[in-house]
Structure 1
Amino acid sequence: MRALVLSGGTGSRLRPFTHSLPKQLIPVANTPVLVHVLRNLRRLGIDEIGIIVGDTRAEIEAALGDGAEHGVRITYIPQEAPLGLAHCVTIAEDFLGDEDFVMYLGDNVLPDGIEAAADRFREERPDALILVTKVPDPQAFGVAELADGDRVSALVEKPERPRSDLAVMGVYFFTSKIHAATRAIVPSARGELEITDAIQHLVERGGAVVGHRYDGYWKDTGTIDDLLECNRVMLDRLEAGVRGEVDESSVLTGTVVIEPGAVVTGSRVAGPAVIGRGSRISGCRIGPYTAVGPDCELADSSLGDSIILEGASVQGVQGLRGSLVGRWARVRAEAEETYIDRFGGTDRRLLVGDHSRVEGSA
Structure 2
Amino acid sequence: MKALVLSGGSGTRLRPFSHSMPKQLVPVANRPILGHVIDSIRELGVTSVAVVVGDRSEEIRAALGDGSSHGVDITYIRQEAPLGLAHCVRIARRFLGDDDFVMYLGDNLLSGGLTEIADRFRADRGDAHLAVRKVDDPHRFGVAEVDSEGRVLRLVEKPEHPVSDLAVVGVYFLTAAVHEAVDAITPSGRGELEITDAIQWLVDRGGDVRASVYQGFWRDTGQVSDVLDCNRELLAGLTPRILGAVDPDSRITGPVVVGESARVTRSRLSGPVVIGAGATVSDSVVGPYTSVGDGCVLDRAGVEDSIVLEGSAVRGVRGVHGSVIGRRASVTEASGTDRRILFIGDDSKVEIHG
Give the deviation of 1:243 after TM superposition. Answer: 1.5
Give the deviation of 1:148 after TM superposition. Answer: 4.1
* Structure 1 counterpart SS, 2:168: strand
User: What does residue 245 of structure 1 align with?
Assistant: 245
* Structure 2 counterpart SS, 1:218: strand
Q: Would you say 1:111 and 2:116 are equivalent positions? A: no
* Structure 1 counterpart SS, 2:310: coil
* Structure 2 counterpart SS, 1:36: helix
- Aligned 1:150-161 pairs, distance under 5 A: 150-161=150-161
Separation in 2, partners of 1:224, 1:151 = 35
Separation in 1, partners of 2:148, 2:272 = 44
* Structure 2 counterpart SS, 1:327: coil
* Structure 2 counterpart SS, 1:110: strand
Over aligned residues, Cα RMSD in angstroms? 1.1
Q: Would you say 1:254 and 2:250 are equivalent positions? A: no
Give the deviation of 1:157 after TM superposition. Answer: 2.0
Letter in 2 for 1:350: L
Separation in 2, partners of 1:137, 1:169 = 13
Q: Would you say 1:354 and 2:308 are equivalent positions? A: no
Unaligned runs of 5+ in 1: 334-338
What TM-score results when the alignment is normalised by the length of structure 2? 0.98
Letter in 2 for 1:58: E
User: What does residue 10 of structure 1 align with?
Assistant: 10
User: What does residue 276 of structure 1 align with?
Assistant: 276
User: What does residue 87 of structure 1 align with?
Assistant: 87
Separation in 1, partners of 2:93, 2:158 = 28
Determine if contact 1:268/1:286 at 8 Å carries over to the other structure.
Answer: yes
Give the deviation of 1:159 after TM superposition. Answer: 2.6
User: What does residue 323 of structure 2 align with?
Assistant: 323
- Aligned 1:306-345 pairs, distance under 5 A: 306-333=306-333, 340=335, 343-344=336-337
Determine if contact 2:131/2:211 at 8 Å carries over to the other structure.
Answer: yes
User: What does residue 65 of structure 1 align with?
Assistant: 65
Separation in 2, partners of 1:117, 1:48 = 19
Give the deviation of 1:287 after TM superposition. Answer: 2.2
User: What does residue 173 of structure 2 align with?
Assistant: 173
Separation in 2, partners of 1:137, 1:332 = 39
Letter in 1 for 2:107: D
Separation in 2, partners of 1:329, 1:6 = 29
Give the deviation of 1:156 after TM superposition. Answer: 1.5
User: What does residue 193 of structure 2 align with?
Assistant: 193
Separation in 2, partners of 1:162, 1:185 = 22
Any idea what the Cα deviations from partners look like across 1:236-285, whole Å, max 9, x if unmatched? 01112212110000001111111222110010011111111111100101
User: What does residue 133 of structure 2 align with?
Assistant: 133
Determine if contact 1:40/1:113 at 8 Å carries over to the other structure.
Answer: no
Determine if contact 1:187/1:193 at 8 Å carries over to the other structure.
Answer: yes
Give the deviation of 1:361 after TM superposition. Answer: 4.2
Separation in 2, partners of 1:74, 1:19 = 25
92-101 or 159-168: bigger deviation: 159-168
Separation in 2, partners of 1:360, 1:322 = 16
Determine if contact 1:265/1:282 at 8 Å carries over to the other structure.
Answer: yes
Unaligned runs of 5+ in 2: none
